Amino acid sequence: MNLPENFIVRLQKQFGNNCADLVESFNQSPATSIRINSNKLKEFIGEKIPWCQSGYYLNERPLFTIDPLFHAGCYYVQEASSMFLEQVFTQLFSKEENLTVLDLCAAPGGKSTHIASLINNKSVLVANEVIASRANILKENIIKQGKGNVIVTSSDSKYFGELKELFDCIIIDAPCSGEGLFRKDPDAVNEWSLDQAHYCSIRQQQILKDVIPCLKQNGILIYSTCTFNPEENELQLKWLKEKYGFSGIELKTESNWNVEEWNDENLYGYRFLPSKIKGEGFFLAVLRKNESNSSSETSSNNNFISWMPKLCNEKEVSSIKNWVKKIESENIYRWKENYFLLSNEQLKMMNELSDRVKIIYAGVELASKKHDEFIPSPALALYEQINITAFNNLNLSKELALSFLRKDSLQIQSEDKGWMLTLFDNHPLGWVKSLGNRMNNYFPMEWRIKNY
């Protein structure tokens, strides 16, 4: 790989004798890793990622697109180093704590789906992505993983600062110069420059400045990047300490993990170097907010309609309430013609977000209604608490499952008529409507497999 000379000079200054090994690692093939959705896939045999209970390395990279289990949300393809986030939640929080968490730069969803699996069902994760197209990808991945404790939003960071000490924990996986991903993304090498890296640091500070007011006093800030650049990493921690009074939090690591630990003046950072670990370049730090510094600034008009879901009465939803294994404190709400399963905690958060932040999805969409008929939602099929026994099931071979995922017409005859839940290897995929001699395929058009 033809690395920029200025980049190598900085690595030599930064890593000294370890620089040569790091530079050589850019010429090696990246590892492939996945994180198992333990609520859907109970067993998996493979090499464990040491810092993540559900993380595994694969011997080779398969074509995930043609694996129905991938589309069923049984696992998520995620870079191994970034799974270190799990250590923050297992070491600093109890699974019994009801948390409010913001993942500010969440797309495509690796960290958000991971966090959703680490917090309990009464906790609320707000997963945000400012770019609309990426926010839709985030929404899709959240739905496929089948958790119901997430609200997906799409707003600029400046609007979150107006919410005033709302979150117990904020994760900022900041836009960065991408040095840690050079071997996975050669285009990033061509885009790199000293000026571009400096611009990233300025943008990161603005994002941090925007959202600090909505972190509770004594709340936890998790800051991460996929770069080695001190200006985007260690110097940002020092800036947070000097300007806003943040303090560092030390995490426990095992020596055989080969994670490089940095500390200075009670600040701590964790570097993942491809020359030392089986993964890509990554940096993570955890800090505590010690001072209250709510912003007094407010915006005028964010130009979107807030969600205003209304609680359904028992009669209105009597025919769909048994579609899920209902969890305590969750209720069915209607927004326009769509029906959602929302917890009391989510509803409270949605009221807090109000018209400040654009909500694009929340909880679990159960159904829509058309001509007095309830149409089951794709999200319901993938929800981990779906009551499979409430529906006629259609078990598909791999060939038919891929046909379904391409949104092909299914020439399958069945004595059962009406809505049927398709499954592959006992894992739900989505819905068809049986007409007796054929099936209408209701897999979402925007999710369909293309070019296969």
Specify the DSSP element, H or E, that contains 68. helix 68-71
Q: How far apart are CA 318 and CA 183, in angstroms?
A: 54
Tokens of 375: 């149409």
Nearest-angstrom CA–CA distance, 9 and 14: 9
DSSP notation for 216-250: EEEEEEEEEES---TTTTHHHHHHHHHHH--EE--
Q: Which amino acid is at 135?
A: A
Which of 187, 39, 163, 178 has the alpha carbon at shortest distance from 104?
163
CA angle 115/167/207 to nearest 5° reads 85
Q: Confirm if 375 and 413 have CB atoms less than 8 A apart.
A: no
Give Cα 250 distance to the centre of its chain.
24
Contact status, residue 410 vs residue 400, Cβ threshold 8 Å? yes
Let me know if 226 is a catalytic residue. yes
Residue with tokens 């500390």: 263
Nearest Cα residue to 279 out of 58, 112, 5: 58
Spatial separation of the C-alpha atoms in residues 215 and 208, rounded to whole Å: 11
280: exposed, middle or buried (Cβ count in 10 Å: 0-12, 13-18, 19+): buried
Interhelix angle 110-118/132-145, nearest 10 degrees:
40
Residue tagged active-site, from 52, 169, 176, 226: 226
Catalytic positions, written as ranges: 226
